[in-house]
Chain A
Amino acid sequence: MSAIELLSWARGPALQFSVAVFIVGILIRVLEIWILGRKKDLSEPKAAGFSAGMRTIFTRSLPPPGMLKYLISGYIFHIGFFVVLFFFVPHILFFKDVLGFAWFGLPNGLIDGITILSLASLLYTLSIRLSDPVRRMLSNFNDYFAWTVTFLPLLTGYLAFHRHITDYTLMLAIHILTVNLLLISFPFTKLTHAVTLFASRWYNGAIAGRKGVKV
């Protein structure tokens, strides 16, 4: 199989399969939560729980007092990953093909810098996971696997963009394959949090909110 054939397969059938697994998998994960339901709370509320839950979905993205120091690398990586995914011009062209519309992109030089920052912050979080006693105790195969499948698309994308280092077609094929791996892994790992945190934050905010506490 030549590099160009690999690329066609990666962004053709392989990508379609991965997206299908991603969508069906996430639906199952959401359904697994939904069907458990919860008992109606019979205590008299002090305030509205629903809106408090909605509020927490947003406010929980902010650092708790005095805790920013633990969260900086997390912010850099999450924002960096999001910006690179949605504001790198070739990605936008890809989304335009699929969705039929496009949006503005950011200069390649900026994307390049953000990618390096994101990779560095991911390496930093890995080092913390390995060195800090709490993070090391909590971590299992799932955590390291999720880290790897998140790191790889950023790394291979970076290498593909810097085509003087590697063979562009081959590296692009590998890049898309790592994206496929990320998509397939999503429903089976803690990466699911990107979807389910809307539920968990809402529940937390709503439970406290009906008691009159903003969390």
Chain B
Amino acid sequence: MSTPLQLAVNAMKEQIDAPIASFFSSCVHCGLCADACLFYTETCDPKYTPIHKLDLMRSVWSREYTLWGKVLKLLGLNRAITDDDLSKWQELVYDSCTLCGRCSMVCPVGNDIVYMIRKMREAMVVSGHAPEGLKDATVRALETGSPMGVSLTTLEAQIKHAEKESGLSVPMDKQGADYLMLLSSAEIAQFHEIIPAVTRIFHEADVSWTLCSEAFEGTNSGIQIGSSDLAAELLERIVSGAEKLGVKYVISPECGHAYTALRWEGPNLIGRPYSFKVIHILELLDELRQTGRLKTEGMDEMRMTFHDPCQLVRRGGVIEEPRQLLNMVATDFVEMKDYGKWNWCCGGGGGVSANEAAESLRLKVFERKKKQLDEIKVERIVTACSNCRNMLEDGLDENNMDIEVIGLTEMLAEKLTSQKSATSAGDN
């Protein structure tokens, strides 16, 4: 029986690949990554320097995968990591990292630091060093299909509500539809206006779509906690649902990590390419805009900005679409000073929002977003991730800032030109 420490070391050994070896070989300890990380800039505590969060992995790499490190190991000149180290590093690897990836953008030698943190978490999980809040969320996800414990019954209630509101039917388990729409937990539980919103948009744009009763959630706690096995199990449900229905596309919802999980990690987690394509809801909406199928009327004159979810921009490549869509309906859309791939995180990504132990730190580092917002004085923040939305609302509330937060899809639906009669969205 392996000890937790052995499990952690073995997991790190398994995760270390050529990119990681090149990153550690190249690091010159310049510390520039600290200045890119909101956990450092807002606390000035050097322990939050991103590359420092990987000291344990670097130690394992050096001792196991370098000739010089092995010589030093034989001579007893480089210390092996301990259980105590793992406990200490839990805060650094989880509480103070949202996997936002800003550090990976600035490293002069090109280290993709967040690529390594994601893999480091694999070792933390197997050795039992993941935060309780994230463990609970993952268990709930495995047991109920949702990290927030949202059930199909809840979704069905929201669907009824959406059908009443939109006057359209919401397709469920529709065989042969082109698109399978996924939702995030928070969308079903809190921001359910998204359901009538997409129903109306898809109806107007003639999109053949469906929800799936076996796979309705895109949120993937496995990715956040850093367990490929759990992430794969959650993902398999979506793949199986999509393949049973025979859809051509699966739509990733307004949720950052869902997109990373589905679009980028997914095929690697299940070990094969998909039989369908994954598209983010904003990518689809922008496609509909370009082809003239998404029509809106009227412009919103409110001063507003767009908060980029990190997983969509830096880690996902959905950068221009939200801007094109916003400019379609807003006359006073202003960017924050650092935007797009240079955005600053809301502070709650990467599982931090589900980690109660990190709450006070998360609210502290929201200071960065507050500064960005203070500079542009907007009345509304538009975003495309329900987790960001929650974190922004929380941070604004904490700082007594009176700014409205809304999802982009929902905002577009409000401006939708209604040309068709409201009868049968499900029959498209």
Contact = CB atoms under 8 A, between A and B. Distances in A.
Interface string B49-69: 101100000000000011110
A106 B111 CA distance: 35
Interface size for chain B: under 10, 10 to 19, 20 to 34, or 35 or more residues?
35 or more
Interface residues of A, number: 57
A56 B263 CA distance: 23
A195 to B, nearest CB: 8
10 contacts: A33-B25, A43-B265, A60-B110, A61-B108, A64-B106, A138-B46, A138-B51, A143-B28, A188-B68, A213-B314
Interface string A167-205: 000000000000000000001101011001101111111
Contacts of B110: 56-57, 60, 197, 200-205
Given A39-B17, A143-B29, A196-B26, A137 B47 contact: yes
Interface stretch (B34-42, B188-196, B382-390): B34-42
B18 A135 contact: no
B261 to A, nearest CB: 11
A109 interface: no
Given A134-B31, A137-B49, A203 B19 contact: yes
A105 interface: no
A202 B20 CA distance: 12
Interface centre among A36, A67, A212 (most CB of B within 10 A): A36
B18 A34 contact: yes
B80 interface: no
A29 B18 CA distance: 11
Contacts of A70: 32, 35
Given A42-B273, A132-B31, 19 more contacts: A34-B18, A35-B18, A37-B18, A38-B17, A47-B317, A64-B36, A134-B40, A135-B29, A138-B31, A140-B29, A192-B25, A192-B26, A197-B110, A199-B18, A201-B110, A203-B18, A203-B110, A204-B104, A212-B319
A44 B273 contact: yes
A65 interface: yes
B264 A43 contact: yes
A64 B103 CA distance: 11
A143 B51 CA distance: 15
A199 B35 contact: no
Given A56-B110, A203-B18, A213 B313 contact: yes
Nearest to A32: B66
B334 interface: no
A213 B341 CA distance: 8
A28 interface: yes
B100 interface: no
A80 to B, nearest CB: 17
Contact of B18 (A38, A197, A204): A38
Interface string B102-123: 0011111111100100000000
B268 A41 contact: yes
A207 B19 contact: yes
Contacts of B264: 43, 211
Interface of B: 16-23, 25-32, 34-36, 40, 44, 46-47, 49, 51-52, 65-68, 104-112, 115, 263-268, 271-274, 277, 313-317, 319, 338, 341-342
Nearest to B29: A138
A148 to B, nearest CB: 15
B13 to A, nearest CB: 10
Leading 7 A-B pairs by shortest Cβ distance:
A201-B110, A212-B317, A42-B267, A199-B22, A203-B19, A196-B25, A200-B26
Nearest to B32: A70
Contacts of A46: 317
B18 A74 contact: no
A41 B272 CA distance: 10
Nearest to A65: B342
Contacts of B272: 42
A133 B18 CA distance: 31
Contacts of B111: 200, 204
B109 A28 contact: no
A60 B67 contact: no
A202 B108 CA distance: 12
Nearest to B113: A204
A207 B17 contact: no
A139 interface: yes
A41 B267 CA distance: 8
A31 to B, nearest CB: 9
B9 to A, nearest CB: 16
Given A139-B29, A188-B68, A44 B109 contact: no
A200 B109 contact: yes
Contact of A133 (B23, B46, B315): B46
A197 B110 CA distance: 7
A130 interface: no
A44 B35 CA distance: 33
Nearest to B262: A43
Interface centre among B26, B47, B104 (most CB of A within 10 A): B26
B317 A138 contact: no
A71 interface: yes
B268 A39 contact: yes
A190 B266 contact: no
Contact of A29 (B25, B40, B265, B314): B25
B66 A134 contact: no
